[in-house]
Chains A and B, each alone.
Chain A
Amino acid sequence: MTELRDRSDAGGPTTGAVGGGAGLPAPAPLEVRIAVYKMMVEMRDFESRAYDLFMQGLVKGTSHLGLGQEAVAAGFAAAMRPSDYTFATYRGHNHTLARGASMTAMMAELMGRRAGLMAGKGGSMHLTSVPHRMMGSYAIVGAHLTIANGAAWSSKVRRTGDVTVCFFGDGTTNIGAFHEALNLAAVWKLPVVFVCENNRWMEYTPISSVTAVARPAADRAPAYGLDPVLVDGNDADATLATASAAIQRCRTGAGPVLVEAETYRHGGHSRADPGKYRPDEEVKAWLARDPIPRFRARLLESGVEEVVLQRIEEGSRVAVDAAVREAEASPPPDLSLVESDVWADGGSSWRR
C-alpha cells in the first residue's frame, strides 16, 4: 500500500507491500469496509447484468464496463463526503453507482428509457447525477481533467472545502489535456485528486508499448511537482486508505494529488471487444486477484460474519433484479425531448 508522503522523501513511486505489511495505516472502521464491500458487489452485479442485457439487445449502443476495477470506485467514494465532486470517463457506471445514483435510473438510461438518469439523452458514456455531485462521465479522453480543475477552482474561490475527485484511464496520460490539467492544478494548488485507473490496456494496445515511462501516471507526477503515488487498485483497503489520505491532503489546501491505481478490466475495452488480444496467463493472473473475493476473505478474517456478507450479496441481486424490471417497464422517452434543453429556457430555438 502506498502512503502519501512529504516532498522531502519523494523518489520513485512507492509500490509498497500490496495488501499488507509493516507501516500500514490501521484499517478503516469495519462498518466503512462493509459499506465498501456492498458497493463493490452492487457494481459487479449491475454491470454483469448490463452486459447480459447488451447480449440480449436490450441495451443499445456501446458500453465500457469497469468489471474488475470496483475497488477503485468504491474505495474513493467511501472516502468522499457528500458535497465532494466526482468526474469520470465513459467507463463510469461504477463511479455513478458509488455516489448513490439510482440503479433503476442508470439501467433505464442504458436501455434508452424514459426513466433514465438523463431520460435517455446521454446514454452509457455520459452518466451524470448532479444531486449526487456526480458531475458527469466524459467520453472524449482527457477533457474532463481540465473540467474537474474548474470545479476544484470554484470550491477554492467559494471557500466550500469540497474536494474534486477525477477518474481516468491509463490511456489519458498521453493526451495533451492531461498535462495542461496537471500543470494548472499544481500551479493553482487546486483541491483535486486525479485518479488514474491503470488497467494496463489503452483500448486494444498495451499501455506500456505506447508510453515513455513504466508507470504512466505516477512517473509523470514529479514533472508537475507532485509526489508519485501508486496503489494496488484491486485492494479495497488500500484504495480506501490512499483515497482518505489524498482527499484529506486536498482539503487542507495542500494542492492536488495524482494517484495511479493498478488494476485490470476483466472484459474488453467496450461492448464490441472480447479482449482476445490479451495473453491468457495475464488474464488468469489478474482474475486471481479479483478485488471482490479478495476483500470478502479479508472481511471474514476481520471477524465479519458470513451471514452479513451473504445478506449483502442477496440484497444486491434483488436490487439489480428490481432495477432491470423497472427499467424494462419504462416506456421510451417522449419524442419532445429531441428538441429540449439545448438552452436553459428548456428549448432549442436559435432564431427570433
Chain B
Amino acid sequence: MAEMTYRDAVAHGIAQEMDRDPTVVLIGEDVGAAGGVFKATVGLFDRFGPDRVVDTPISEQAILGASMGAAMTGLRPIAEVMFSDFFAVCWDLVANEIAKTRYMTNGQVSLPLVIRSANGGGARFGAQHSQSVENWAMAVPGLKVVAPSTPRDVVGLLAAAVRDPDPVLFFEQKSLYPTKGDVPEGELVDELGVAAVRRHGGHATVVALAAMVPRALEAADHLAEEGVEVTVIDLRSLVPLDVTTVATSVRQTGHLVTVEENPRLCGWGAEVASIVAEECLFDLDGPIVRVTTPHVPLPAADALEDAAMPSVARIVEGVRRSLC
C-alpha cells in the first residue's frame, strides 16, 4: 500500500497498462517531455519513449482522429484532451465518429480507446476551463463515461477503461489532482459500471460523482452530528450506470439526493432521479432532491465559484429537504 496523489495515480495507472500491453500509446498536447500541464503524465516519456508517448500540436480534432484511426487498426490509444471544455472543438470526432462507428458498421469496427480529460471547477479558471461536461458525454449513445474520486480508483478504473473494447471518456476532476489516498501494491483493475458505497446510513441515499464524493462525505459527517445518517454512493461511472446499487439503497432509505457538479439542466442526476421515480416510486418517503451547480457558466472569482458549485452546506440543506 502506497499513499499517492490523484495526479500521480494517473501516471501510475497509465504506466501499469503501458508496461502490460505494447499496443497502448499515449497522445496529447504536452503529455510527453513536459509531463502534462497538470503534471499527471510525469515520467512516462522517459520511461516509454517518444514512439509511445507522443506530443501533438494544439489540434484536438487531429488528436482524437489519430486515436480513432489507430484504435481501429490495432493500437489502444490513451488520448488526452487537456481541459474537458476543449471537447467542444472536437465533439464531431467524439459524438459523430468514435461513438457511432461500431453501430453504423454493424460491428465491423472496434474502437478500444480512452480519452482522458481534466474536468470541473474549483481552480478559479473561469467559464472556459472549469466546466463539468460529463453529462454531455452521457447523452451520446456509444460512449462509456468514467469519473474517479480517489487515487485508487484512478488506477483501477483507468486500467478497466484501457482494457475495455469500447471508447471510454475518462474524466479526471482537476480539483482532485492534489488529493492523496492509498493505492494497493501490484496490478489493480476495476470493473466499469460498479458504484462504491463510501458510507452507510439509513436515513437517506446521497449519490455523488468525482469531486462531489468527498464533499458529500463531509456533508454526511455534519449530518451525523445532528443524528442524520446517510449512505453515500460514489457512482464512479455514468455509463454503464450502476442502477442496482442506487435502487437497492433508495429502497432501504426512502430518500434520494444527487450531488452534481454539472449545471442543472439534463445533469446526470436528472437521469438517476427519473429512473428512481420510475422504478422505486413507492419506496420513496420524500421528494428527490438534486444539488447541482446552477444553470450558469462558472464564474472566475473564488467567492463566486464557491457560491456556484455544490457546497457542503448546500448538500446538508439538500438532504434536509429530501427528508421533509
B is a partner of A: yes
Q: Known contacts A121-B104, A341-B106: does B141 contact A150 (CB below 8 Å)? A: no
Q: Is A344 on the interface with B (CB-CB < 8 A)?
A: yes
A121 to B105, CA, bound (A): 7
Contact B92 A143 (CB under 8 A): yes
Partner of A154, one of B75, B112, B240: B75
Contact A146 B66 (CB under 8 A): yes
Q: Which residues of chain A are near B112, meaning CB under 8 Å? A: 344
Q: Is A59 on the interface with B (CB-CB < 8 A)?
A: no
Q: Known contacts A143-B61, A146-B61: does B105 contact A154 (CB below 8 Å)? A: no
How far does the Cβ of B223 sit from chain A's closest Cβ, in whole Å? 28
A223-262 Cβ-contact flags toward B at 8 Å (1 or 0): 0000000000000000000000000000000000000000
Partner of A140, one of B56, B92, B275: B92
Contact B105 A352 (CB under 8 A): no
Contact B72 A180 (CB under 8 A): no
A79-113 Cβ-contact flags toward B at 8 Å (1 or 0): 00000010100000000000000000000000000
Residue of B with least CB distance to A182: B62
A332-352 Cβ-contact flags toward B at 8 Å (1 or 0): 000001001111101011111
Contact B74 A158 (CB under 8 A): yes
Contact A122 B104 (CB under 8 A): yes
B94-106 Cβ-contact flags toward A at 8 Å (1 or 0): 0011000111111
Contact B105 A152 (CB under 8 A): no
Contact B240 A145 (CB under 8 A): no
A148 to B69, CA, bound (A): 6
Partner of B193, one of A119, A341, A352: A352
Q: Is B68 on the interface with A (CB-CB < 8 A)?
A: yes
Q: Is A155 on the interface with B (CB-CB < 8 A)?
A: yes
Partner of A153, one of B61, B69, B93, B103: B69
Q: Is A135 on the interface with B (CB-CB < 8 A)?
A: yes
Contact A128 B193 (CB under 8 A): no
Contact B92 A183 (CB under 8 A): no
Q: Known contacts A126-B105, A183-B59, A337-B106: does B73 contact A155 (CB below 8 Å)? A: yes
Q: Interface residues of B toward A: which range? A: 35 or more
Contact B92 A136 (CB under 8 A): no
Q: Which residues of chain B are near A138, meaning CB under 8 Å? A: 97
Q: Is B243 on the interface with A (CB-CB < 8 A)?
A: yes
A150 to B109, CA, bound (A): 14
A29 to B155, CA, bound (A): 57
Q: Which residues of chain A are near B105, meaning CB under 8 Å? A: 118, 121-122, 126, 128, 130, 136
Contact B103 A150 (CB under 8 A): no
B30-72 Cβ-contact flags toward A at 8 Å (1 or 0): 0000000000000000000001100011010110111111111
Q: Known contacts A150-B72, A157-B25, A350-B241: does B66 contact A136 (CB below 8 Å)? A: no
Residue of B with least CB distance to A135: B72
Contact B107 A340 (CB under 8 A): yes
A130 to B255, CA, bound (A): 50
Residue of B with least CB distance to A164: B69
Q: Is B16 on the interface with A (CB-CB < 8 A)?
A: no
Q: Which residues of chain A are near B97, meaning CB under 8 Å? A: 138, 140, 143-144, 147
Q: Known contacts A118-B106, A183-B57: does B69 contact A158 (CB below 8 Å)? A: no
Q: Which residues of chain A are near B65, meaning CB under 8 Å? A: 143-150, 177, 180-181
Q: Is A151 on the interface with B (CB-CB < 8 A)?
A: yes
A-B contact list, 14 entries, CB within 8 Å = A87-B69, A119-B106, A121-B105, A128-B108, A135-B109, A143-B93, A146-B61, A150-B70, A177-B61, A180-B62, A184-B62, A344-B102, A351-B275, A352-B243
What residues make up the interface of A, taking CB atoms closer than 8 Å to B? 85, 87, 118-119, 121-122, 126, 128-130, 135-136, 138, 140, 142-155, 157-158, 164, 176-177, 180-181, 183-184, 187, 337, 340-344, 346, 348-352
What residues make up the interface of B, taking CB atoms closer than 8 Å to A? 25, 51-52, 56-57, 59, 61-62, 64-75, 77, 92-93, 96-97, 101-110, 112, 141-142, 164-166, 193-194, 239-244, 275
Known: A144-B65, A146-B61. 17 other contacts (CB 8 A): A135-B73, A136-B109, A143-B61, A145-B65, A146-B66, A147-B69, A150-B67, A151-B69, A180-B65, A183-B59, A183-B62, A340-B107, A343-B165, A344-B166, A349-B240, A350-B240, A352-B243
